[in-house]
Amino acid sequence: MGYEVKNLRVYTEAHKLLKMCYERYSDSKEFWLKDQILRSAGSIGANIAEMCGYESSSMKYHKCSIALGEANEVMFWLETLKENDKDIIEQVHVVQKMLFSLRNKFSVSDKRLAGGD
């Protein structure tokens, strides 16, 4: 099951999250935190894009898991900053939900291929 990355809504939402983080934190005096937030946010979309190049469901599942971990990391850094940026936090939640859903698709595919459910 091939995916064109730009057609995936989760990719679009991950890109939106990166732009929001960049706009909010690009002038931050906390350089190391800004750097971590932007790297983690950027890695979400990069892993989704890389996922689209794989054929096997298990590799797609793995890349979704990594992207989800990066979304969790963005939340961690936001909490470290003690920022209550509701728009960015809400966007992280949107991306997390979409990644869970996408990852579960690949998990179900693997079970079907193995002769399970």
Instruction: Name the burial class of residue 82, with classes exposed (0-12), middle (13-18) and buried (19+) by CB atoms within 10 angstroms of its CB.
Output: exposed
- pLDDT band for 109, please (50, 70, 90 cuts): low
- pLDDT band for 40, please (50, 70, 90 cuts): very high
The domain segmentation of the chain, as residue ranges, is 5-113
Using the structure block, give the residue that is written with the tokens 């990644």.
Answer: 99
Task: Report pLDDT digits (tens) over 46-75.
Answer: 999 999 999 888 999 999 999 999 999 998
Distances (CA, A) of 40 to 1, 23, 24, 36, 55: 27, 15, 15, 6, 25
- Report whether pLDDT(34) > 90: no
Greatest CA separation for the chain: 54
Residues 95, 73 contacting (CB under 8 angstroms):
no
What is the dotted CATH code of the domain comprising 5-113?
1.20.1440.60
Residues 94, 13 contacting (CB under 8 angstroms):
yes
* E strands in the chain: none
Token representation of residue 52: 């689209």
Residues 102, 24 contacting (CB under 8 angstroms):
no
* Percentage, residues of the chain above pLDDT 90: 50
